[in-house]
Amino acid sequence: MTTVTLTTENFDEVAQGDGIVLVDFWADWCGPCKRFAPVFEKSAGKHEDITFAKVDTEAQPELSERFGISSIPTLMAIRDGVIVFAEPGALPEPVLENVIEQVRGLDMEDVRRRVES
């Protein structure tokens, strides 16, 4: 599966749908971002039920500001329209796979209750 490029125009439409969306905030000049990109792409090929998306922080500074992205790469996981994970740093493949499994295993009713309270 190919990754989706997110912009201010399509971010909400993609992120607020059902299911899991993993977002990689990156920039072309960022060495750790370049090292993380193949890990992200490989994972995208293994999880066809997940939307893998990228935000170029140089081209989309409004999105970086909106989500308080101060370090890249930053991985954000969104499930059923709720941000459930956001962490800066280039994750190794086993850690990324662990994040995916944890996001899959979330009780979204419980998450929504916690967000509302």
Known catalytic residues are: 30, 33
CA distance 2 to 113: 33
In our burial notation (b when 16+ CB lie closer than 10 A, e otherwise), range 31-61 reads: eebeebbebbeebbeeeeebbbbbbbbeebe
Which helix (H) or strand (E) segment holds residue 57: the answer is: none
